[in-house]
Amino acid sequence: MENSYIISLDQGTTSSRALLVDKNGQIIQIEQEEFEQIYPKSGWVEHNPKQILESQLRVCHKLIESTKVDVKNISAIGITNQRETTIVWDADTGEPIYNAIVWQDKRTSEYCEVLKEKGFTKYIRENTGLVVDSYFSGTKIKWILDNVEGSKEKAQQGKLRFGTVDSWLIWNLTNGEQHVTDYTNASRTLLYNINTLSWDAKLLEELQIPRNMLPEVKPSSSIFGEYEIKGVKIPIASVLGDQQAALFGQACLKKGEAKNTYGTGCFLLMNTGKKPQYSNNGLLTTIAWGLEGKVTYALEGSIFIAGAAVQWLRDEMRLIESAKETQQIAEDLEGENPVYVVPAFAGLGAPYWDMYSKGAIFGLTRDTGSRHIIKATLDSLAYQTRDILDAMQADAGFNLKRLKVDGGAAANNYLMQFQSNLLNKEVVRPKSIESTALGAAYMAGITVGIWTQEDVLESKNVDQVFEPTFTKKQRKKMYKGWKKAVKRTMNWDNNKK
């Protein structure tokens, strides 16, 4: 085991990344490549599945070449991925029949309304842990089968395969030998029963999705196949959806521990132990992981637009050249910011679940400048996190003392301090904010016997603890303004009401 390494493939919404992790759990190197975001219509978001695959393979091989690691010393590959994004491909040719429909995509909102009208809300909540929303994969599969010519017939003949991004990658890494996924990704499809750990026949029938399209579901810690590099077959030894991987990577291994990942979206998860805990406050019940013969569950709050709002400032609004600038801009703007940005570009997730909400800016006056909008956009990540944490604490029946954080935006000191102020809690940032990729690496290492769960707990080193400085009055006033702004964006785009 002296020279044992793990490669973690972290396939995200805007980029593909590969990390080399040594036997001490330290990241040796990271390679990253962004890929195209496709917006065919308002509210539609797509990726080219081949670009996803090619970019992921390129960064993997670039990592190996640049580190000069001997592939014989790579013990395993771990995969973590953007969840809910839906790919359907031809089983014979391996060719996608349509672009990947991304988790942010809203085109299936009407399908969701039909499910609600038919009374499926309660059934879906109790059996999948989810809410009826276009966020999840099930209605995206239905849309592809309804809109791609000849696809229904091919599906009935067993000639099509569906997969979330992990399944698509593994199918290609194993040359079509393995059509598999794990508990965490399956639990985000709107088709998987998290109680029986099986695909749900009633939902498959309702959405007219043939069972033969779907992958085999395995525990997150499993051998999912092998990827051959330079003649060496390396086991793919873990698969987790990105947010569950971050929960594991943050060593939230005990019931009641929680983390928030500030990525393209923002995702707050709490480990709820060996039984699913259902929410009365708009949160999702999901599978955290399957490990060593046991299933662990989590409560989750999903914020659709977080880091993506900062990208919007950079790419569409042209207010900044890089995300790093935002910290200094926000810190230099003195006093309370009268401006609120509600980045509901893909509707609102938890705890509101409003598919028809649209983004908006409130509180503009003649002296409002770009700095106010930049600071308010950062603030929106913290406000949305408080929305979810309040709901999570109500469901759990106790208050968290601290919040563990990770993801790209967790490096922003202004945002982390504002988050602490708004929550009136300690915010704990680890030395490595790469919790998602590390979570997949740790899980793969456990599968092949390099580490134990205790090793994961011992690996967590703290970089900084942010402590609240706001008065109760300040906190209350600012959050009240946020709630008022959110209320005014809701149901904006619903022509039926």
Residues that constitute the known binding site: 13-15, 17, 83-84, 135, 242-243, 264, 307, 311, 408, 412
| Binding site per annotation, positions for sn-glycerol 3-phosphate | 13, 83-84, 135, 242
DSSP string, 86-145: BEEEETTT--BSSPEEPTT--TTHHHHHHHHHTT-HHHHHHHHS--S-TTSHHHHHHHHH
φ/ψ bin of 356: left (φ > 0), alpha (ψ from -120 to 50), beta (otherwise): alpha
CA separation, residue 388 to residues 65, 241, 348 (Å): 42, 20, 12
SS3 state of residue 193: strand
DSSP classification of residue 411: G
Distance between CA 161 and CA 176 in Å, rounded?
A: 11
- Residue 169: which of 339, 390, 300, 161 has the closest Cα? 161
The alpha carbon of residue 77 and the mean position of all alpha carbons in its chain are separated, in whole angstroms, by 20
End-to-end CA distance of the chain: 63
Partners of residue 347 on adjacent β-strands: 345
Q: Is 282 left (phi over 0), alpha (psi -120 to 50) or beta?
A: left
Residues 275, 299: contact at Cβ < 8 Å? no
- Residue (of 495, 488, 497) closest to 358 by Cα position: 488
Give the residue ranges of the annotated binding site for ATP. Answer: 13-15, 264, 307, 311, 408
Angle at 306 between CA 18 and CA 263, to 5 degrees: 15
Binding residues for ADP: 13, 17, 264, 307, 408, 412
Structure tokens at 230: 């330079």
Q: Residue 494 to residues 282, 304, 347, 354, 491: CA-CA distances in angstroms?
A: 20, 19, 11, 10, 6
Tokens of 451: 């580490």
* Measured distance CA(178)–CA(159) in Å, rounded: 15
The residues facing 218 across adjacent strands are 182
SS3 content of the chain, % helix, strand, coil (to 5): 35, 25, 40
Q: At 263, list the tokens.
A: 């990525």
